[in-house]
Amino acid sequence: MTALEVRNLTVDFPQRGRVPFRAVDRVSFSLHAGRTLALVGESGSGKSTVVRALSRLVAPTEGEVRLGGARRTRGKEYRRAVQMVFQDPFASLNPAHTVGHHLIRPLLVNGRARRGADAEAKAQELLRSVNLTPADDMAHKRPYELSGGQRQRVAIARALAPGPGVLLADEPVSMLDVSIRLEILGLLDRLKDERGLALLYVTHDLATARHFASEVMVMYRGEIVERGPSDEVILAPRHPYTQALAAAAPSSAAGRARARAARAERLAGRARRDAERREVVVGDGCRFRPRCPYAMDACTRRPPETEVGPGHRSLCWLRTDTKDSVVDSSA
Amino acid sequence: MTAPTVPTVPTLPTTPRATGRGWLRPALRSRRFAAGLALLAVFVLTAALGPWLADDPNAFTADLGQAPSGAHWLGTTQTGQDVFAQLVVSARGTLLIGAASALIATVVSVVVGIGGGFLGGLADEALSLISNVFLVIPGLPLVIVVSAYVKGGGAWSTILVIALTSWAASARVLRAQTLSLRTRDYVLAARVYGEKRWRIVLVEILPNELAIIVSQFIFAVIFAILTQAGLAFLGLADPSHLTWGTMLYFAQNAEALTSGAWWWFIPPGLCIAALGTALSLISFGLDEVLDPRLRVRKVSP
Amino acid sequence: MSDDADDVVLRAEHISVTYEGERPTHAVRDVGFELRRGELLGIAGESGCGKSTLAYAVARMLGPPARLTEGRVVHRDRAGAETDLLALEGEALRSFRWSRLSVVFQSAMNALNPVTTVGRQFDDIFRAHRPRMRRPERYERARALLDMVGIDPARVRAYPHELSGGMRQRVVIAMALALEPEIVIMDEPTTALDVVVQREILDEVQRLRDDLGFSVVFITHDLSLLLEISDRLAVMYAGSIVEYGPAERIAADPAHPYTQGLLRSFPDLAGERRALRGIPGSPPDLREALPGCPFAARCEHAFAPCATTPPTLVPLAPGTSAACHLHTVARTGPRPEEGRQP
């Protein structure tokens, strides 16, 4: 079941004396109940803006966001259905209030509990569902008493309080210690299964995207450059940017000798001063062109989204495997 | 696999913040706070118990312009009134004006500053403009002009005048703080789960500004007392309302300075300074408690 | 890179650092390590393990309330002469800093002075340490340094905000290398950058090491990265080193349960999907005295001695050591792999 459908989402930010900055450019995708979609990209790719637009913190310039097939959704209903987990566990809780407050307010505002004992009981239930026990104790603590992992659990519980069908997780573990990241991601996964949530997992980490999401979308400078089943996209990336991401991630499967060889290859292949190249502003063509090792003349025109495998699409002129240099630029 | 981590520059685990229950005991650990509080308590008690501590300040006695003695601890004025009695009763007057002015100024600055900061847009622009106008107009001349107009309104006119000229600076500070807090994730989260705007301001943002508001209030009291003293000294306050400032006014008029009647003008001046010091100590002490980084540290060997 | 165990350029012994306060925090507890000439020593650990404090202590950058309560840091120059870094004061310390040992701080790219140009900041370094250099010479050297880290030398006139994060980090690295130091301490130098930029910068650092031959102490939480780039590495937990040895060996056969758990926390990009789990629980409060092993509460192999006796670093093979009772108990105890749940 399609929980959320996004069509041609575009977000522009006005700039003083200049053309508005297009942070998100005609992005379309769907979220399905019980499944995780990973949105992968570096900072500046627009992935956070997508999340903010979906949670209605930022108004889209163009495009539609439809909830469960309905034409338009009233604000209140939408907020109940779509919730968000923020990135920074140290900033997402109000230091002036207890943990209980953070859960009781959304429960009351969305009519999920009655004031008083009912709200407290439901808040404690939420705490138990994210493994923060003893719940009674936890409810009276203040954020400064909690570790990063515990805070993030509270943030997740808060997002679940209104009873959403869609959960937007904006880099939920990138500011946590490495050894607890998997616990939190596992928790999100479990909650998704238990409650049939549609989960959007925004991250810059390909490895966890692969392990926790069934589908992956890769974003670069506001556009989705590649999408498809996670194993496909990450193990056999077709877009040069995704290939660069995959190559850049440390992999302990690669031996040290192989890593050293790969490094030598990278250095040899790269001209000096190419740190400059990413600064170039492109016109209408492919945005990855300044950094792309396979850039061609055709790339001055915006490439079409091409099917490169079952359910696997790439925004690139390269049709065949890049190892052959046969390229179909006749589109 | 990389990620921005929280800064690992070593930081002390923070001690519990002094908000909510049980803030007094940690606050008392700060020597400055304790000292300031003690000194303030002296003045407050004096003001409260005034009439029982001293004789009628307005009674004329036969001892004119006498230096301090057993009968009159701080001597007498030119007209034979007991200076000590006046001093004690003035404490009440001064504190009342100080507190009332500061309270009104703080309330206005909270409404304008936080309201404008949160609402944004035209409302913010308008409120900012008003604040800036009040800030730019020179304070003392404005106070003098307005006082000259409303002279005769008693203590209340002084209070209102002082409040009117001191709210703007605080409003700016609160607006800046609110602008910063408005983009915090927990405020955004409240918007996402559908909290009403006015509740967000009152429940999520305001409690985090309490520290600043308290600090602004304390300095507003100091400012009010000093301004009141200045106004009174210039003869722009109601002379029948006894404050340390009016004492100075009368002392000046009776040329106490040139005649060497130090017992008349030094005590009120000292009291003003001492009260100001007490309030400052309280404010700095509270800062220390609320922000551990400001704690006075012994330099390690 | 020298394999000669005698060619040590920096040696730290018994370093302990405490943060004074109502309840003092013992952030670093009796830590020692050796840095050989030309090698890259990695120090891995999560937040609160003391790795940054250790780096600051070695670089003499600790300020109150942090205090070095014991320890020695000895620098050996090429001739073999030894200097106790912690005894240096005043002029001697100042001239040592940056010309022999420099530091790249975390988020250093945000530490560039925003109101002066990049070139001017290089200039400051040269004027402070090489007073005899003349202006044209300083300018040329700044341009050469920028070129060395892969930035167009014309950028010497740029202001920091005109450069991207990755470029600013390169500038900071160039500044750290300006006086050709023997040792560079890098504290999470690439953590705030994107994966691809991080990879580029690390490649650059490796290349510079190959060309210039300096040693690096590389501090980060990213253990998988360290396993790739380090020669030797130390894993820190709760203020102490729990495992120490050549990176290859630790990658192949981690001895300490914390190292194993940490490695397990990095899911493999290309490997099989497996049940993923990190390490449950959280690090101990360093204000407390820790009886026994600080990792015991979270360790799945904890047994009798772990709660009562703190383990010490025990050599397992030449150059490798681990602080774990599993290895000190007469090797008759279960090997860590056997006890691990699938």
Do the chains contact at A178 and C199, CB–CB below 8 Å? Answer: no
Query: What whole-number distance in Å separates Cα of residue B160 and Cα of residue B145?
Result: 13
Do the chains contact at A248 and C199, CB–CB below 8 Å? Answer: yes
With beta carbons under 8 A apart, name residues in chain C contacting A254.
228
Identify the three-state secondary structure at position B135. helix
Do the chains contact at C221 and B5, CB–CB below 8 Å? Answer: yes
Q: Which of B184, B193, B208 is opposite residue A161, by nearest beta carbon?
A: B193
With beta carbons under 8 A apart, name residues in chain A contacting B186.
91-94, 102
With beta carbons under 8 A apart, name residues in chain B contacting C264.
none
Within 8 A by CB and 6+ apart from C60, the residues are C85, C86, C88, C93, C97
Answer whether A179 touches B (CB < 8 Å). no
Q: Which of A42, A273, A279 is opposite residue C196, by nearest beta carbon?
A: A42
The residue among A255 and A170 whose pLDDT is bigger is A170
Two structure tokens written together for B220: 């507003």
pLDDT band for position C192 (50/70/90)? confident
Answer whether B193 touches A (CB < 8 Å). yes
Do the chains contact at B12 and C21, CB–CB below 8 Å? Answer: yes
Query: What whole-number distance in Å separates Cα of residue B222 and Cα of residue B231?
Result: 14
Answer whether A28 touches C (CB < 8 Å). no
Counting Cβ atoms within 10 Å, is residue B122 exposed (0-12), middle (13-18) or buried (19+)? exposed
pLDDT of residue C342 exceeding 70, the answer is: no
DSSP, residue by residue, A205-239: -HHHHHHH-SEEEEEETTEEEEEEEHHHHHHS--S
Count Cβ atoms below 10 Å from residue B164 Cβ, excluding itself: 17
The residue among A109 and C266 whose pLDDT is bigger is A109
Q: Which of A42, A256, A272 is opposite residue C195, by nearest beta carbon?
A: A42
**Rounded average pLDDT over C46-67:** 88
pLDDT of residue C3 exceeding 90, the answer is: no
B-C CB pairs within 8 A amount to 54
Within 8 A by CB and 6+ apart from A234, the residues are A206, A209, A210, A216, A242, A246, C269
pLDDT band for position C340 (50/70/90)? very low
pLDDT digits (tens, 9 = 90+) for C86-135: 888 888 888 888 888 999 987 777 778 889 999 999 999 899 888 888 99
Q: Which of B2, B6, B10 is opposite residue C27, by nearest beta carbon?
A: B10
Amino acid at B278: A
Is residue C145 within a helix (H) or strand (E), and if so which, with residue range?
helix C135-148
Q: Which residue of B has its CA nearest to C192?
A: B4
Task: Write down which chains contact chain B via at least 3 CB pairs under 8 A.
Answer: A, C
pTM of the shown model? 0.83
Two structure tokens written together for C28: 């670093």
Query: What whole-number distance in Å separates Cα of residue A176 and Cα of residue A84?
Result: 17
What ranges do the domains of chain B cover?
82-293
Q: Which of A91, A106, A204 is opposite residue B185, by nearest beta carbon?
A: A91
Counting Cβ atoms within 10 Å, is residue A140 exposed (0-12), middle (13-18) or buried (19+)? exposed
pLDDT band for position A160 (50/70/90)? very high
Query: What whole-number distance in Å separates Cα of residue C159 and Cα of residue B203?
Result: 42
DSSP, residue by residue, A273-295: TGGGGGGPPP-SS-TTGGG-TT-
Is residue B182 within a helix (H) or strand (E), and if so which, with residue range?
helix B155-182
pLDDT of residue A153 exceeding 90, the answer is: yes
Do the chains contact at A80 and B20, CB–CB below 8 Å? Answer: no
Answer whether B191 touches A (CB < 8 Å). yes
The complex scores an ipTM of 0.86
**CA distances for A186 relative to A92, A210, C24, C56, C326, angstroms:** 20, 13, 36, 36, 29
| Closest chain A C-alpha to B11 CA, distance in angstroms | 14
Total residues belonging to chain B: 301
| Percent above pLDDT 90 for chain C | 30
Q: Are C204 and C170 in contact (CB under 8 A)?
A: yes
Do the chains contact at B14 and A90, CB–CB below 8 Å? Answer: no
User: Domain A2-226 is in which class?
Assistant: alpha beta
Q: Are B163 and B105 in contact (CB under 8 A)?
A: yes
Answer whether C66 touches B (CB < 8 Å). yes
Total residues belonging to chain A: 331
Two structure tokens written together for A221: 């400078």
Query: What whole-number distance in Å separates Cα of residue A318 and Cα of residue C116?
Result: 45
Q: Which residue of C has its CA nearest to A180?
A: C278
pLDDT band for position A17 (50/70/90)? confident
With beta carbons under 8 A apart, name residues in chain A contacting B184.
91
Biggest CA–CA distance in chain A, Å, is 69
Within 8 A by CB and 6+ apart from B20, the residues are A96, A142
pLDDT score recorded for residue B173 = 94
pLDDT score recorded for residue A326 = 36
**CA distances for C80 relative to B43, C2, C83, C87, C216, angstroms:** 71, 15, 10, 18, 19
**Count of alpha carbons within 13 Å of A148, Cβ hemisphere only?**
24
pLDDT digits (tens, 9 = 90+) for C296-315: 888 988 888 888 888 888 88
Within 8 A by CB and 6+ apart from C327, the residues are C255, C314, C316
Q: Which residue of B has its CA nearest to C45?
A: B8
Count Cβ atoms below 10 Å from residue A183 Cβ, excluding itself: 21
DSSP, residue by residue, C260-279: HHHHHTS--SSS--------
Amino acid at B94: T
Name the least confident of A136-150, B236-250, C33-47, C172-186: B236-250
Do the chains contact at A57 and B3, CB–CB below 8 Å? Answer: no
pLDDT digits (tens, 9 = 90+) for A18-69: 888 889 999 999 999 999 999 999 878 889 999 999 999 999 999 989 888 7
**Chain A interface, best mutation among C106, C228, C242, C253, by max A CB count within 10 A:** C228
Q: Which residue of B has its CA nearest to C51?
A: B8
Over chain B (301 residues), the average pLDDT of each successive run of 10 is 35 41 69 89 87 75 75 78 85 90 95 91 93 85 76 75 89 94 93 92 91 91 90 80 87 82 86 92 83 52 35
pLDDT of residue C337 exceeding 90, the answer is: no
Strands A82-85 and A166-170: parallel
Summary mean pLDDT of chain A: 85
Query: Is the bond preceding residue C65 a cis peptide, omega within 30 degrees?
Result: yes
With beta carbons under 8 A apart, name residues in chain A contacting C263.
252
pLDDT digits (tens, 9 = 90+) for C137-166: 999 999 999 888 888 888 899 898 888 878
pLDDT digits (tens, 9 = 90+) for A177-220: 888 899 999 999 999 999 999 999 999 888 899 999 999 999 99
Query: What whole-number distance in Å separates Cα of residue B25 and Cα of residue B37?
Result: 13
Count Cβ atoms below 10 Å from residue B284 Cβ, excluding itself: 18
DSSP, residue by residue, C86-97: GG--HHHHHHHB
Q: Which of B1, B189, B207 is opposite residue A205, by nearest beta carbon?
A: B1
pLDDT digits (tens, 9 = 90+) for C226-246: 888 899 999 999 999 999 999
Question: Is 3.40.640.10 the CATH classification of the domain at B82-293?
Answer: no
Q: Are C104 and C187 in contact (CB under 8 A)?
A: yes
